Structure formats: C-alpha cells, structure tokens
Chains A and B, each alone.
Chain A
Amino acid sequence: MRQYFGRKLLVYGLTFFVAVTINWMIPRFMPGDPVASMLARARVSQPEAVEAMRLYYTNLFGFDQPVWKQYLNFWAALLQGDFGISVWVFPTPVSTVIMGAVPYTLGLMIPAVLLSYFVGNRLGAFAARRKVLDNTVLPVGYVLTAMPYMWLAVILAWGLGVVAGLFPVAGGYSFAMRPNWSPQFVGDLLLHWFLPFSSLFLVALGGWAIGMRNMIIYELESDYSNYLAALGAPQRLIRRYAFRNAILPQITGLALQLGVLVAGALVTEIVFSYPGLGSLILKAIQNQDLFLLQGTFLFIVLGVLIANFVIDVVYVVVDPRTRTGMAGASA
C-alpha cells in the first residue's frame, strides 16, 4: 500500500511540476507585453513618465532578470504562496483575489459533484434492467450528459430567471447586502446559488446515472450473478452485490471526470456571473492578466490533484484488494 501511494504521489508531484513549468513558459512566448498594456491604460504620454513607469513595472514583475533566474524566482515565490500581483486589480496580490473566489466555486462544486454522484449512481443502479424506468432514465440521462453545461445554464436562467422571475440570474448575492451570517443574507445566498448549482447537478447527474446503469448490467450478466441466481438467491441480494462491484469503476470514473466537472463549473459560473474562479478566469482572459490566469490555473490543478488523492484514499478504503498491495497500475 505504501508503494501504491508512493507511486500516486510521484505522479501528482510530476504533474504539478509540469503544470508549473507550462505555466511559467507560455507567457514568455506570448505576443504583446503586459507592461505595455499597463502603460497604455495609464494614459500617460510624456516619455520620461512612461520610462519611469515601465521601469517600475518591469522591476515589479521581474522581466528584467535572466530567464533561468525568473524560473527559479517563480518557484521560490510559488512555494511561499506568492502568485504575483494582479494586473487587472493592481496592486492586489493574485492569491488574495483567488481566495475571494474559491469559496463560491467550492460551494457550487462540492455539493453538485457529491449529490449528482450519489443520486446518479442510485438512480442508475435502480433503473438498470427495469423496463419502464430504464426507458425513461436512459434517454433523459443521455440528453443531460450530452448538453453543454452553459446551454443548460442559459436555458435555466432564461426559463426560471427571466421568464418566470423566480431566481436572480446573476451574481453571488444581492447588491443591497454585504456578506454576514444573518438568515436574510444566507437566504439570499442560497437563492443566487440555486440555478448554477442545478445546472451543474443535472448535467453531471445524467452521466453518473448512465454509467451506473451500464455497469450494473455488466455485473448482472456476469458469472457470479448468474451463479447466485441459479442458487436461488433473491434479486435484491444479487443487485446489492452488483452495486458493490459496480461502484468501484465509478469511483475511478469520478477521478477521471474531475477535470470535466471543473470545466463545467467554470462555464456555468460565467453564465451566471457567479463570483467564483470561472468568472475570474474570464476576467483574466479579457484583461490579459497573466498573473491572475496563471494563479487560477495552478490553483485548479492543485485542487484537482488533492481531490484525486482523496479519491485514491477512498478507493483503497472501499476496495479491499488495493489494501493488500495491488500496485494500482490501472487504478
């Protein structure tokens, strides 16, 4: 088991290294110059002033140092939690900006992922090989899982927000309020949370339901199920065994789907201008704020790595075989 985790951690470590390096490299090949854009925004035309500001910003961002040193500095700063300074909200540190957005993204993603996972798996397992249910769950599941996240979000915003007027279609909370823990504010928060959550939840739900339904059918057709059936075991018991076996690949599936779910959360946030990482990324792109974009990217990678690790741990806990030293080559 130590070997199993050692291997996993090595992969994650390497992944992080690669991500950081990509992150550092790409901006250096980018057209345009962030300092030039800052100066343009400052609308200053006197040459001395421009020079002074250019020097100042170049210094600040470290563009005047040799490349290898920039790379080392990048790592050194990173390890201290310093992602640089945002150009968009100059001079706020990127880490502060990200931290302000993270709670919203997590607040959307964690419930949406967990709930869709549990409900979807239950639904799929229940529907498998049950004619009527199967015929409804399957098509609905396929439509949901094939939907682009943002489209469902747009439809919900239009139907429930604009037409029916039940929910606000933008923002994390009402502009008349400031974050606090009064019931009024929490209610407002939930009201704004509901639509983005629903669209994330629904799309993911379809995928899990179908996946589980297919897995259960595999299991129900496998030899042990047939054997159990031949022995005269009750259907309920067979299904329970099937479910236990089917849940394992679904856990791996969760790890595989994390990237897609993150992507879904990002575009959903954009539709609803939900103040999470997705909206932040959009702003960073629109304002060519490379530090913010890099910081957000690294943060997402880090988050996904941690989530993957948690899933690994869960897998080991759930699957007795991995506990006894299976090297996890295919997990």
Chain B
Amino acid sequence: MRNRARFLVPLLAAGMVAAGCTSGGPAPAGQGATASAPAGGQAADPNSLPRNETLYTSGTQWGPPANFNPIREWDSATGTKGLAYETLFHYDPNAAKLVPWLAESGTWVDDKTYEVRLRQGVTWSDKQPLTAKDVVYTFELGKMKTIPYANLWDWLTSVEAVDDRTVKFSFSKANYQQWDFNLYSRSIVPQHIWNGRSEEDVLNGVNENPVGTGSYTYMSHDQDRVVWKKRDDWWGKAALNMDPKPRYIVDIVNSSNEVAMGLLLQKGLDMSNNFLPGAANLVKGNFGISTYYPEPPYMLSANTAWLVPNTTKKPMDDAEFRKALAYSVDTKKIVEGVYGNLVKAADPTGLLPQWDAYIDKTVTAEHGFSFDTAKAKKLLADAGYRDRDGDGLVENKDGSKINLKLIVPSGWTDWMEAIRVIAASAKESGINITPDFPDFNALVETRGSGKFDLVINNERQLSNTPWTYFDYVFQLPIRKTQNTVNFGRYENKEAWDLVQKLDQVKADDAEGMKAVTSQIEKIQLQEMPIIPLWYNGLWSQVSGTVWKNWPSSAAGTPKAAPAMWRNWLELGGFETVAQLQPVTP
C-alpha cells in the first residue's frame, strides 16, 4: 500500500505539470492550422479544428445529437434541416415574404393548383441532381400518418412531377397561409436514397451520413457536439451568390446556460442562442459580447409567452373573470425583475412585433388591457366575484373559495420566478393563485388532458403568418388530449371559422388578411381565451473575437435573425452564417 502511494503521488505531480504547461487558456487551436484541407477533400484532421475557420454555436440541442433525420424536426441534430437538408423556400420576416431557395419560383396557377419550378444545377452531396421526383417523394411521405405533416393530406389531393424541374400540387381546399408555412418548413429528401424506407425507418431512423442539398455536410458528432463541414460544390455559391466563410460549424450541446455563458466569455463560443440571465451586463460591460439591440430589449422577439386558463373549469369559464385576471398581472415586474429587460411586454393580442401590421389598433385601443389592479377589482366586483369572508380574496359566485394553481415545469427557473410574480400581483387584485412546479412530464399530462387550472406556454414561434398564432388559440375540435394547441380548451365556433377563413386568404392579400384578423382580435380581446404576457426573446449573444458582421440594429449590418434554433435557419439563421466574415482573414 505504501508503495502504491509513492507511485501515485508523482503521477499527480506529472498531471499538474502537464496542466501548468498548457494553462494559457483554451487549447492552442492555432497549432492545428495544418488542417486547412484541400478543397472538397476529407483530409481535414477531425481531432483538432482550426479556430479561425470554425464557427461555434450553442443553444439548440439539449441532449446528445440523437439523429440526422430531417423528418424529426423536433429532435434531430442542429443543422440537419438548414445546413444539410434544405427547403423549397426560406422566409424573410423583415420583408415578410418567401425567398426562393431550392425552388426558383412558385405560383398559384389557379385557385387550387400550385406549381413549383426547381432551380437548375442543384445537386445532392452525393453529386446526384435534385429533381422534381425528390419533391414529390418528400411530400408523399406525409401520407404516412405518423409524419408531422400528415395533416397536409387532408386538403392536398396530389403531387405530380410535370417534368424534371416542375412539381404540381393540387388541393381540395386551398389553405394559402398554411401552405406557405409548409413551403419553407419541409426538408426535401433524396428519393434515390430514401426510396423504400419503411414508415418506422422514416419516422425513427437515425439517418447516419445524411445526404442533403445544403451547404454543409456531416463531419462527425459526439455526445456533446455535432460538427458540420462546408461543401465546396454547394449550388448556392453561384445561384444565390452566397459563400459561407466558416469551414466548420460546431454546435455544442447545452449542459446549462451558465456553462454557455462561461464558454462565451472564454471565447470558446461565437454565438450562444441560450437564455443567459444577466446578458444585459455582458453587453454593457467590456466583455466583447453583443446582442441584436445594444439596449433593451436586446433581442428580437421569437415567441409569445401566454397565460393559459382552463376554460372548462370554474371560474375560468367566465370571460369576465379571465379579463380581470389579465388586468391583474404585473407584466412589467416580470420584464424588469425576472428578465432584467431582456424581454418585452406583449401586445394585448399577443401577436409578435413582426406581425404589427395585422394588429388592429382601433380594436386594441377599445378592448385591450394593461396591468391595473383597480380595474381588475372592478371587473371582478361587477361580474359578481366578491370577497365574502374578508380575507382579501374573492370567492366564486356561489360563495365557494377560489384557489387556482398556476403551473410551470420544475427547473425552468425564469418561469418559476415569473409565476411567483404573477401569483403575488393577482393576489393584490383578490385572485388567489398558488404557483406550483410539477415535473415536466406531469405538467404535459395535466396540460394535455385539461386537468390544470392555469399554465404558461410559449410553444408557437414566429412564422410567415399570424394564422399559426390564431390556430394555436382557437383550433377546434377539442380532442381528448390537446398536445400542441388550444390547451385551454376554448370553444368558439365563430372564431374558429374566422381562423379558417384567414387560412384561405392569399398571402399577398394583406388587406384581406387584416379584415379577418381584426375580427378575430375583437373576439379574442372580448373573450380573453388566453392571456399574452411577454415576448420571449430570440436569445442570441455573439462574440466578435473570431467572426464579425453579426446581425444587429446598427446601420450597415445584416438584419437576419441570428439563431441556430430548430426551424429558424430558414428564417434568417442561415443568412446570418452566410454573411459572417473572419476577423483575421
């Protein structure tokens, strides 16, 4: 035993010496510069990537890269869709229009027929050309019931390849708004490789070595990262005049937000799409970190956080009570106290700033709400909710006590903090709310089955159309479990008809859309089926050490949405990457 001790101590000493030698900071990546591989070759040393040619991102993956299957839009490795696989179009939220991508153009040849013309010269990473057959194959996958876009076939009747570069879609009902969403959301997969895959394989396959049309190809992955390598023969170099500078993109799996902050500060990370508490301090301090705006709210808005009341339960089945609840929430305190001004209070309609044109200001002026304890009290009193036992909290109309549970998943610290604020401010108005933090599983179950009282949710993201938001609020029919929309089980046939009507307004008919949205908004604000609270940011903190020309509000910089999040690469994420410039060329 004694001998072993003598053996181990020098070992430790050796370890310390070794540690001391390389302690100059993160590993000297510059030494790996021999790795500037010949064009298109596979010879790059995968063990050590040159720092000045590599873009490090984080904030999307919360678990080891599980698959490279573009059908699994919810858990495939970052970049599977966007870097490797591509869609027919991209969407530019600033210009509010589709940007032709794999498609050269797309037109409604009549009210129920849509024709896509593909670009010439697009090749898969195995050098095969992209043809109309691939597009047909991709959309026909939706005939399998387990594919995320299976419901497309409720109103799509056929997809045909007219010739090598033309695809014709025929519809039984033309849902123009939804269709545009599909155009930039569905990854086109290669028929010559995928043909013959079983439903099981298509849905659950890992799809190692993905073959896509995109500008990057798969290089390697580990438990904590995925590495993409630039494709030198990418079609977009000529067709789009885009040439992304990072030779490698490494997306790091989040272990926690504070780790991301540490990496960002130690210059190991170029873009962090994590929610970093205190990011405002980083921007103001001398850390070399910047965000889209140099001042509050620092970030673009990505989605709305809603307070969802269960409208099948008393007293949330009463629109007057829901309105009073809306007036009772001190959103400002959440924005400033919990988030340190990293988010913005939401419009009464909940529509994101990008959809401002569709917010009818006369409607919101008349029916909108704001934090006003006195107004909330008055609404409650007028509707018959009175404090009968003198405890400062109102009772139901029949005199029974009100005790509502507001739930968010345990461990979601910012939301946990936020609902404490909500509960406290609701109490001021006399509404008894108790914050509760069930496990995510339990929360999902109660939320889906309609057993909850109040819940916070923000699952709908920015898209090409406010229709996706109204669909989220009003979708009917109510099913046994509500997995993605209308958690509050609010039933209003009139509103849902209007939402469907909106879906069938052509995307270029802004006035027609506004006419419908204004009607929907009026119902929404009068009925208050769901209460918008704040706009969650498109969290993005970037470091200018290795890469520059990041999107920002300053003049002369790109205005794309800087995010690697799922489904955001088509909304500006890829454009962000493509416009980066190395700091030292």
Q: Which residues of A contact B (CB under 8 A)?
A: 30-34, 36-37, 39-50, 52-53, 88-92, 97, 100, 111, 114-115, 118-119, 122, 161-162, 165-172, 174-180, 182, 184-188, 190-191, 193-194, 273, 275, 279, 283, 286-288, 318
Residues of chain B within 8 A (CB-CB) of A49 are 145-147, 150
Residue-wise interface mask of B (377-411) relative to A, using a CB-CB cutoff of 8 A (1 in contact, 0 not): 00000000000000000000000000000000001
A-B contact pairs, 13 of them (CB 8 A): A30-B441, A33-B445, A45-B484, A114-B8, A115-B9, A167-B19, A178-B222, A179-B222, A180-B47, A188-B22, A188-B27, A190-B22, A273-B259
In the complex, A8→B256 CA distance in Å?
Answer: 42
In the complex, A209→B27 CA distance in Å?
Answer: 36
On whether the beta carbons of A45 and B62 are closer than 8 Å, the reply is no
What distance in Å separates the Cβ of A85 from its nearest Cβ neighbour in chain B?
A: 11
Instruction: Among A114, A118, A176, A275, point to the contact of B32 (Cβ < 8 A).
Output: A176
Instruction: Among B23, B150, B255, point to the contact of A279 (Cβ < 8 A).
Output: B255
Residue of B22, B220, B482 with most chain A CB atoms under a 10 A cut-off: B22
In the complex, A193→B4 CA distance in Å?
Answer: 22
Instruction: Among A119, A170, A180, point to the contact of B255 (Cβ < 8 A).
Output: A170
In the complex, A178→B223 CA distance in Å?
Answer: 11
Instruction: Among B47, B74, B266, point to the contact of A168 (Cβ < 8 A).
Output: B266
Residues of chain B within 8 A (CB-CB) of A175 are 56, 224-225, 250, 252, 263, 268
Instruction: Among A43, A50, A194, point to the contact of B481 (Cβ < 8 A).
Output: A50
In the complex, A92→B225 CA distance in Å?
Answer: 16
On whether the beta carbons of B441 and A283 are closer than 8 Å, the reply is no
In the complex, A186→B48 CA distance in Å?
Answer: 13
Interface residue ranges of B440-492 to A (CB < 8 Å): 440-445, 447-448, 459, 479-485
Residues of chain A within 8 A (CB-CB) of B206 are 91
Q: Which residues of B contact A (CB under 8 A)?
A: 1, 4-5, 8-9, 11-12, 15-16, 18-19, 21-23, 25-27, 29, 31-32, 46-49, 51, 54, 56, 62-64, 66, 73-75, 145-148, 150-151, 204, 206, 220, 222-225, 250, 252, 255-256, 259, 262-263, 265-266, 268, 411, 438-445, 447-448, 459, 479-485
On whether the beta carbons of A89 and B8 are closer than 8 Å, the reply is no
Residues of chain A within 8 A (CB-CB) of B448 are 36, 40
In the complex, A65→B224 CA distance in Å?
Answer: 35
On whether the beta carbons of B63 and A190 are closer than 8 Å, the reply is no
Residue in A closest to B269 when the chains form the complex, CB atoms = A175
On whether the beta carbons of A191 and B22 are closer than 8 Å, the reply is yes
Residues of chain B within 8 A (CB-CB) of A97 are 64, 223
CB contact under 8 A between A166 and B49, given known A40-B448, A44-B148:
no
On whether the beta carbons of B75 and A41 are closer than 8 Å, the reply is yes
CB contact under 8 A between A176 and B146, given known A275-B224, A279-B255:
no
On whether the beta carbons of A168 and B26 are closer than 8 Å, the reply is yes
What distance in Å separates the Cβ of B23 from its nearest Cβ neighbour in chain A?
A: 5
On whether the beta carbons of A48 and B145 are closer than 8 Å, the reply is yes
Residues of chain B within 8 A (CB-CB) of A162 are 262, 265
Residues of chain B within 8 A (CB-CB) of A92 are 64, 66
Residues of chain B within 8 A (CB-CB) of A89 are 63-64, 66
In the complex, A166→B26 CA distance in Å?
Answer: 9
What distance in Å separates the Cβ of A34 from its nearest Cβ neighbour in chain B?
A: 6
Residues of chain B within 8 A (CB-CB) of A118 are 1, 4-5, 8-9
Residues of chain A within 8 A (CB-CB) of B29 are 174, 176
Instruction: Among A37, A165, A275, A279, point to the contact of B440 (Cβ < 8 A).
Output: A37
CB contact under 8 A between A45 and B66, given known A111-B12, A175-B268, A194-B19:
no
Residue in A closest to B32 when the chains form the complex, CB atoms = A176
Residues of chain A within 8 A (CB-CB) of B447 are 40
Residues of chain A within 8 A (CB-CB) of B482 are 45
CB contact under 8 A between A36 and B220, given known A45-B483, A177-B47:
no
In the complex, A50→B438 CA distance in Å?
Answer: 23
Known A88-B63, A178-B48; 4 more pairs at CB < 8 Å: A37-B444, A43-B484, A52-B146, A119-B9
Residues of chain B within 8 A (CB-CB) of A184 are 27, 31, 48
Residue of A52, A170, A180, A194 with most chain B CB atoms under a 10 A cut-off: A170
What distance in Å separates the Cβ of A297 from its nearest Cβ neighbour in chain B?
A: 17
Residues of chain B within 8 A (CB-CB) of A191 are 18-19, 22-23, 27
CB contact under 8 A between A176 and B23, given known A44-B483, A286-B411:
no
On whether the beta carbons of A44 and B484 are closer than 8 Å, the reply is yes
Residue in A closest to B449 when the chains form the complex, CB atoms = A36
In the complex, A32→B147 CA distance in Å?
Answer: 25
Residue in B closest to A286 when the chains form the complex, CB atoms = B411
In the complex, A280→B443 CA distance in Å?
Answer: 22
In the complex, A40→B457 CA distance in Å?
Answer: 13
On whether the beta carbons of B27 and A34 are closer than 8 Å, the reply is no
Residues of chain A within 8 A (CB-CB) of B479 are 45, 47
On whether the beta carbons of A33 and B256 are closer than 8 Å, the reply is no
On whether the beta carbons of B27 and A177 are closer than 8 Å, the reply is yes
Residues of chain A within 8 A (CB-CB) of B222 are 178-179
In the complex, A188→B438 CA distance in Å?
Answer: 40
In the complex, A328→B442 CA distance in Å?
Answer: 47
Residues of chain A within 8 A (CB-CB) of B255 are 170-171, 273, 279, 283
On whether the beta carbons of A194 and B16 are closer than 8 Å, the reply is yes
Instruction: Among A32, A179, A187, point to the contact of B445 (Cβ < 8 A).
Output: A32
On whether the beta carbons of A167 and B481 are closer than 8 Å, the reply is no
What distance in Å separates the Cβ of A110 from its nearest Cβ neighbour in chain B?
A: 10
Instruction: Among A44, A91, A279, point to the contact of B204 (Cβ < 8 A).
Output: A91
On whether the beta carbons of B23 and A167 are closer than 8 Å, the reply is yes
On whether the beta carbons of A45 and B74 are closer than 8 Å, the reply is no
- By Cβ-Cβ distance, the 7 closest A-B pairs, closest first, are A32-B441, A32-B442, A118-B5, A273-B255, A40-B444, A174-B27, A170-B259
Residues of chain A within 8 A (CB-CB) of B150 are 46, 48-49
In the complex, A91→B47 CA distance in Å?
Answer: 26
Residues of chain A within 8 A (CB-CB) of B47 are 177-178, 180, 182, 185
On whether the beta carbons of B18 and A187 are closer than 8 Å, the reply is yes
What distance in Å separates the Cβ of B30 from its nearest Cβ neighbour in chain A?
A: 10
Instruction: Among B4, B12, B26, B441, point to the contact of A34 (Cβ < 8 A).
Output: B441
What distance in Å separates the Cβ of A184 from its nearest Cβ neighbour in chain B?
A: 7
What distance in Å separates the Cβ of B312 from its nearest Cβ neighbour in chain A?
A: 18
On whether the beta carbons of B268 and A287 are closer than 8 Å, the reply is no
Residues of chain A within 8 A (CB-CB) of B268 are 168, 174-175
Residues of chain B within 8 A (CB-CB) of A190 are 15, 18-19, 22
On whether the beta carbons of A275 and B145 are closer than 8 Å, the reply is no
In the complex, A198→B425 CA distance in Å?
Answer: 46
CB contact under 8 A between A40 and B18, given known A32-B444, A92-B66, A176-B32:
no
Residue of B18, B147, B459 with most chain A CB atoms under a 10 A cut-off: B18
Instruction: Among A40, A50, A100, A286, point to the contact of B223 (Cβ < 8 A).
Output: A100
In the complex, A88→B440 CA distance in Å?
Answer: 13
In the complex, A93→B256 CA distance in Å?
Answer: 23
Residues of chain A within 8 A (CB-CB) of B32 are 176
Residues of chain B within 8 A (CB-CB) of A33 are 441, 445
Residue of B27, B29, B31, B480 with most chain A CB atoms under a 10 A cut-off: B27
Residues of chain A within 8 A (CB-CB) of B441 are 30-34, 36-37, 288
What distance in Å separates the Cβ of A265 from its nearest Cβ neighbour in chain B?
A: 16
CB contact under 8 A between A177 and B48, given known A111-B12, A169-B262, A170-B259:
yes
What distance in Å separates the Cβ of B20 from its nearest Cβ neighbour in chain A?
A: 9
What distance in Å separates the Cβ of B527 from its nearest Cβ neighbour in chain A?
A: 22
On whether the beta carbons of A176 and B18 are closer than 8 Å, the reply is no
What distance in Å separates the Cβ of A107 from its nearest Cβ neighbour in chain B?
A: 11
What distance in Å separates the Cβ of B567 from its nearest Cβ neighbour in chain A?
A: 11
